Amino acid sequence: MRKLLPALLLVIFFCDSKCAVAQITDPAAIQVSASQYGKPFKGVPDRRDAAIYQVNIRSFSPSGDLKGIIPRLDSIKVLGVNIIYLLPIYPVGILKSTNSPYCVRDYRAINPDFGTIEDLRALINGAHKRGMAVMLDWVANHTSWDNVWMKNRSWYMTDSLGKIISPPGFHWNDVAQLNFKNADMRLAMINSMKYWVLTANVDGFRCDYADGPPADFWIQALDSLRNIKGHKLLFLAEGNRKDLFADGFDFNFGFKFYGNLKRVYGRGKPVTSIDSINTDEYKYASEGQQMARYLTNHDVNSSDGTPLKLFGGERGSVAAFVIVAYMQGIPFIYDGQEVGMQTQLKFPFTKSKVDWTPNPQLTGEYKKILAFRNKSEVIRRGTLGAFSNADVCAFVKQLGDKKVLVLSNLRNKPVTFSLSANLAGTRWKNVFTGEKSQLNNSIDLAPYTYLVFKN
């Protein structure tokens, strides 16, 4: 065994029946203690232009590590996304553990199962060369029970007997609740985030359970991080609090949109219900702040099922993805979604692997849908005007005198959709076929089909 460095603790970390050595940083160090690696990435997209691809490191490749992602960077790029978001890369706690990646044992170390800092840099460099930014998952609310910060007991919330507690109101017994009244803990948290920006050139963070830490912490953290010289950073909140946009987040998770869309498909809820979700989720957004809209992610894929199961198979899920990509918000894709993977990736993701068996027709549709979004400023910047009925999601996006008309039948049955008087008789061009036509008073839509026109 190597001699210990003075500023490090050495811990044996077990996972998947493998034994590896993780270097754990000094918990007393609340400084950044990092210099700038390489050059900051200049291609971070405007938040209105973002398209996010979530990578579950364990499930993404046979090796289940950072190196296993690199060979597929070209495939991710040609899909049409510009941000890669990695599930937590950090060592997982052992004490009281369920092997959750959100049970962090050291904020400044890489899980040895995933590789090294050099592997992370190689992945990020590869993404940057292809014009894609990289976000890390950040767990600010709580840590593992054997986190390196545990010797600083005042950094954690305690009960009346002085005992450190798990997050109140949940059954998250594998983690310990941090104390955001402690200024040193807050500074250590912010500087640990800065550490990855400087040492690996990451371009932002998806912040897990953003409802937990108080608003004034997020304001402090995001303001501090955005002042790192040379870096443009993006921040995605996973939360329901109304003040998250005011705190400075660029994006928030579309929980309500997903849940409502699931009920549209599974319970026959009227498609018009989407309109109220748009109004509600964007009520507090400003200056181009966006909702991240999805059909699946690591949580709901594990608990609810795949998009094919929830949204009417391949055809139905594509009809839903058109709404995700074009209506209002930025598209969020989970690895394997684009190939129509039918097997769920089950928590804690130690055995499930993405089956990359080619599905060229489905993958081609995802590419086609995203390609039009990427070249259409009307879709990304336009004002939404919705006129759906109970079965068809219908809307126009308008920017100046340019318009895009979208009709998507979210039912597994033929539907005749009646057009409003201001649309009947107007001329449009199908964006995918190039065919020009004049609209009649109504349009017949086959089950789970969509049409996209521009003027």
For residue 24, the model assigns a pLDDT of 52
How far is residue 365's CA from residue 429's CA, in Å, rounded to a whole number?
Answer: 19
For residue 266, the model assigns a pLDDT of 97
The answer as to CATH 3.30.9.10 being correct for domain 392-454 is: no
Strand partners, 158: 164
How far is residue 364's CA from residue 2's CA, in Å, rounded to a whole number?
Answer: 50
Tokens of 345: 């990736």
For residue 17, the model assigns a pLDDT of 35
How far is residue 40's CA from residue 224's CA, in Å, rounded to a whole number?
Answer: 17
Helices within 54-211 (DSSP H only): 57-60, 73-79, 117-129, 183-200
For residue 84, the model assigns a pLDDT of 98
- Return residue ranges of the chain for CATH 3.20.20.80: 41-381
DSSP category for residue 343 = S
For residue 30, the model assigns a pLDDT of 63
DSSP strands (E only) in 118-237: 133-138, 142-144, 175-177, 204-207, 234-237
How far is residue 239's CA from residue 212's CA, in Å, rounded to a whole number?
Answer: 9
Q: Which of 294, 317, 303 is nearest to 81 (CA)?
A: 294
Torsion of CA 420, 425, 427, 433, to 10 degrees: 80
- Return residue ranges of the chain for CATH 2.60.40.1180: 392-454
For residue 203, with 0-12 CB atoms within 10 Å meaning exposed, 13-18 middle and 19 or more buried, which class applies? buried
Q: What is the pLDDT along the chain (455 residues), one digit of tens a residue?
A: 333 333 333 333 333 333 333 445 555 556 777 889 999 999 999 999 999 999 999 999 999 999 999 999 999 999 999 999 999 999 999 999 999 999 999 999 999 999 999 999 999 999 999 999 999 999 999 999 999 999 999 999 999 999 999 999 999 999 999 999 999 999 999 999 999 999 999 999 999 999 999 999 999 999 999 999 999 999 999 999 999 999 999 999 999 999 999 999 999 999 999 999 999 999 999 999 999 999 999 999 999 999 999 999 999 999 999 999 999 999 999 999 999 999 999 999 988 899 998 899 999 999 999 999 999 999 999 999 999 999 999 999 999 999 999 999 999 999 999 999 999 999 999 999 999 999 999 999 999 999 999 99
What pTM value is reported for the model? 0.93
How far is residue 236's CA from residue 239's CA, in Å, rounded to a whole number?
Answer: 9
Helix, strand, coil shares, percent, the chain, to 5? 30, 25, 45
For residue 237, with 0-12 CB atoms within 10 Å meaning exposed, 13-18 middle and 19 or more buried, which class applies? buried
For residue 9, the model assigns a pLDDT of 35
Q: Which residues contact 268 (CB under 8 A, 6 or more apart)?
A: none
Distance (Å) of CA 158 to CA 165, 166, 175, 188, 216: 5, 9, 13, 19, 21
For residue 31, the model assigns a pLDDT of 74
The answer as to CATH 3.20.20.80 being correct for domain 41-381 is: yes
Quick check: helix, strand or coil at residue 101? coil
Distance (Å) of CA 3 to CA 9, 13, 82, 117: 11, 17, 42, 20
Strand partners, 14: 19
Give just the sign of the alpha carbon dihedral 242, 332, 325, 265. Answer: negative
